Amino acid sequence: MPFSARVHRQTSGRVLSHLRSGVSVELIGPPGSGRSALAEDVRTTLAREGYQTLAVRGLPHLRGRPLEAFYVSGIVGPSSTTRGQSVLAAAVDSLTAVTSRGPTVLVVDDLDDVDDTTLGVLSAAHQRLGHAVLSVARPSPGAPAGSPRPQGLAFRPGVQERVSPLRFDDVHALVVHMLSGPVDPESVRWVARRSGGLAGLVRAVTDSARHDGSLALRDGTWTVQRHRWSPLLSAVVDRMTEHLSPEALEGLHKLSLVGSCEHTTARLLVGPEVLEELDDRQLVHLVPTADHLVAAVYPPLVAEHFRSSSVSARRTRLLEEIVEAMPEATRASVDELHEHLPATSTVGDARRSDLAKTSTRQSDTVLSLMLAERRSTTTEEHRAAWEAAPSWRTAEPYLRAVLLGDPDLTTVEAVLAATPDDGDVSALVDCTLWHARSLAILGHDLPAAVRLLADLEPRAAALGASEGELWNLRLSRLWLETTFDQASPDHTELLLRADRASPTVRAAASVLRAELLVVAGRPQQALGLLDVATADRDLTAHRDVVRGLALALSGDVDGALAWSRRHLHEGRATLSVDRLHAHAYVASLVLSVQGRTRELRENLSSALTLGGSPVTMRYFQAGNLSVAATVAVLDGRQATAVALVEEIQALGLPSGNLPAMSPVWTRAAVTHLGGSAGVGGMSATPADDLWAEAVRLLDRGFVAAGLFTGVGAVELRPDPGWAQRLVSEAEGTDGTLLADLADYASAICSTDATRMAAVGDRLVAGDRPLYGLRAYTAAVRTWRSQGLLGRASAQFAEAQQIAADLGPGYLERLDHFEVGADLTHREQEVARLVSQGWTNQEIADTLVLSVRTVENHLHRAYRKVGVDNRQDLCAALTLDD
């Protein structure tokens, strides 16, 4: 399977299925989306299957020459006409004669550039013979999704497919494929943001960046060295905009100069007709919010093209028109606009605009750019204020902006060293709290952070600090100790004293106590402590995150998912990046437990596209990266998985106190599932490493994290002693999820397949389908090992039906590494590629093996799984990419 088809594998699969069934397909996508490459891959696949594939391609310069595109395609040549027959009728007869030779699929690329006469010939021939047609076109004004295009082809039956932007993991895979080596994930985000995830633009941006030096190898990894506009990309943008009216082209230029802005502002600047044309052509993305729309040029590369242009008469005129059209309160002089472009926009309300309660991939790109702009602008504003009047009061918002944007310990310490001690104890306490967090999280020096807070307390008291400020120091110190050291230090007396303090202190202590209970595996008890009201924004955000975690770990996975998605929407709407990583983590955890892989991929793609790494969100960021690495290796994207592991390691964090926040957990998953021994320092025995990590977590009181990690170890090696430790630990937990996990671990460590199947039934019924399906596959393996092939086959068939009934995406949870656990890594790899439709030759080329070796691996897999052909092997392994 060609690589471009792999990144659009679902769309490609649907198109092929329709065409094989005789159903015509209209493939819609803007230039740069990868639509033509996808169509060519489909054509090549059908040709290999024995179809006669005919191709016609529209050419802009031939639009005014009837039938020229048809004849240039080489399907037929100009033919003489019989008496009384028109040229058009003769062309239809010639095409009909060709298509009647056998099963035929006609591919019409760049439909918009095909002249009307040729379209008539193609339609008439189709009406005669009914052969399937794949037409490829750009989005067209007046053609809403699912409705006929006004100038399209009349094919019946017919369906419409749209080429969507790629997810983050697809972008990563494509960039790695192009550069033939590891790529820094932040550099992948840079490519994804500029391209908007459009496959053709991903290729163009990567290729131009490699040639102009923006992307370069550093210590064996491709990394962005600088950001500059490449003239090579101008031709790509010209191709995307060539069908626009002159008015729409100027409107696009204006909106590019303005940047993201409210819909009403965009309509004021360019007019409603132009805005609608740009929206129809998918060159402007409109994101609905509670009270207005945000309009942004999409993909961002288009805006970058116009903003990078030099000062000219046209640009000056457009800037003058922008200034004149804007309301008085937001006007800026033309000189000011020139000064700030292309680095950032100065008109519109991009810094405060709400983003939609939608999570389309286009919206993710817009959100990512707006967050980056907001971080940069906010940091610069506070830096300027602090430099103009250094004090603790001006330093605190500057430190907050730095640590919630692109955290840098050196900057923090430089600011603190240069700030005079002005006696403002309240601001001093706030600055010290930021310093302590940065020392623990960025500097990896917990003792220094704890000493810093402890030393300040008597000094702050002497300076007249309030009760709330002193308690802030004490509770923050406790939070650091319980996050980085162990969950149960001797804090009982401190929290009891806090209960006798002011309502604000009691609220903060209650949220902290609830967090400690969640970590210790008692989420149900934690929920009872979270009904506290507070006016403190940071505490409110923290409380909401803890509630989501408590809901998830208590077993209320539906409630947790609804809660996290609600707060994700609110975070997107307010550009609150400090919330997004945490609530995305909760959603990732829930979707993983439920086995809702397709939704999980979208959630992770959104989280990873955001970028940014607020100091308070580092562990949640690590959790999302960890889950993403596991999903990547299950999808066969080992390079992406390893890159994500390296990104986790670059954070430099010790094991976190919640599930999937341990670097060891991630490395073990990637090592075992991907067959890459030694990934990131992992030994060749990932089960032992993982169990040792589980014991460390449990001994430190991180019970929830320890149970999840221990279950992972037991899945790699079903050790009854390990399972017994997990059951014992789970007895002290409340809720249902953690106890269910321990019961699952105990079942799969037994030799009782009937018990495994029963546990699977209970887990599926209890909304734990991921572990339920894994329990079924454990039962299948056990019965097979006992020679009870009939019971194994019946259980597997039942598991398949249950997975199908659960909905799209669940079949793939009957993972190949579960059912085929006795396959070697190479046999698993070959079986996986077979299930994705690859030929033996394609597998051999990709894995650098001979075809005979591939066949040997395949036949050994047949014997082990108990099948004798490719189709049954695919069914047994139930992979659904």
CA-to-CA distance for 292 and 297, rounded, in angstroms? 17
Mean pLDDT estimate for the chain: 82
Q: Which amino acid is at 48?
A: R
What's the token pair of residue 42? 């489909």
pTM strictly above 0.75: yes
Question: Cα-flanking dihedrals φ and ψ of residue 154, to 5°?
Answer: -90, 85
The dihedral region occupied by 184, where left means phi > 0, alpha psi between -120 and 50, and beta the remainder, is: beta
Which residue blocks in 100-225 are alpha helix, DSSP H?
116-129, 168-179, 185-195, 199-212
| Nearest alpha-carbon partner for 386 in 376, 400, 375, 372 | 400
Query: pLDDT tens digits, residue range 862-880?
Result: 766 656 677 767 766 543 3
Cis bond before residue 157 (omega within 30° of 0): yes
- Quote the longest CA-to-CA distance of the chain: 110
* 625-656 CB burial, b ≥16 within 10 A, e <16: bbbbbbbbbbbbbbbbbbbbbbbbbebebebb
DSSP string covering 187-204, please?
HHHHHHHHHTT-HHHHHH
The residues near 1 (Cβ < 8 Å, ≥ 6 apart) are: 9, 41, 45, 836, 837, 838, 842
How far, in Å, CA of 700 to CA of 688, rounded?
A: 19
> For domain 234-369, which architecture applies?
Orthogonal Bundle (1.10)
11 in Cβ contact with 160 (< 8 Å): no
pLDDT digits (tens, 9 = 90+) for 469-519: 999 999 999 898 888 876 655 576 777 788 788 888 889 999 999 999 999
What pLDDT was estimated at residue 354?
A: 32
Q: What is the pLDDT of residue 145?
A: 45
CA 223 to CA 28: how far, in whole Å? 33
What CATH number should be reported for the domain whose range is 3-162?
3.40.50.300
Contact 700, 693 (CB under 8 A): no
Spatial neighbors of 731 by CB under 8 A, at least 6 apart, are none
For 362-381, the pLDDT digits (tens) are 677 777 777 777 788 888 99
pLDDT at 489: 53
pLDDT of residue 556: 92
DSSP 8-state secondary structure symbol assigned to residue 681: G
Q: At what angle do helices 300-307 and 246-258 cross, to 10 degrees?
A: 90
Query: For residue 300, which of 241, 270, 349, 256 has the smallest C-alpha distance?
Result: 256
pLDDT in tens, 297-348: 988 899 888 888 776 788 888 888 888 877 654 545 444 444 444 433 333 3
What 3-state class would DSSP assign to 396? helix
- What is the pLDDT confidence band of residue 202, given thresholds at 50, 70 and 90? very high
**pLDDT tens digits, one per residue of 637-656:** 777 888 888 888 888 888 88
CB distance 473 to 433 below 8 Å: yes
pLDDT in tens, 547-576: 999 999 999 989 999 999 998 888 777 777
The DSSP output letter for 808 is: T
Contact 711, 741 (CB under 8 A): yes
Q: How confident is the model over 716-734, as a mean pLDDT?
A: 93
Which of the listed ranges 73-87, 106-120, 452-466 does the model predict with the highest average pLDDT? 452-466
Q: In the chain, list all ranges with CATH 3.40.50.300.
A: 3-162
% of residues, the chain, pLDDT over 90: 27
Report how far apart, in Å, the C-alpha atoms of 877 and of each of 166, 185, 536, 632 are.
26, 31, 52, 18
- 495, 529 contact by CB (below 8 A): no
Do 202 and 308 form a contact (C-beta atoms < 8 A)?
A: no
Do residues 217 and 195 touch, judged by C-beta distance below 8 A?
Answer: no
For residues 515 and 526, what is the distance between their CA atoms, to the nearest angstrom? 7
- Looking at the DSSP bridge assignments, the partners of residue 297 are 284
Token duo for residue 648: 């986790």
Reported as a single tens digit per residue, the pLDDT across 673-710 is 655 544 555 556 788 889 999 999 999 999 999 999 99
Ranges of CATH 1.10.10 domains, the chain:
234-369
Quote the tokens at residue 125. 């021939």
DSSP 183: B
Pairing of strands 158-162, 24-28: parallel
For residue 869, how many C-alpha atoms fall within 13 Å in the half-sphere facing its CB?
2
The string of pLDDT tens digits covering residues 587-631 is 999 998 888 888 888 888 888 887 767 888 889 989 999 999 888
Exposed/middle/buried for residue 69 (C-beta within 10 Å: 0-12, 13-18, 19+): buried
How far does the chain reach from its first CA to its final CA, in angstroms? 13
User: Highest-confidence range of 61-70, 287-296, 689-698, by mean pLDDT?
Assistant: 689-698
Nearest-5° Cα angle at 194, 334 to 37? 135
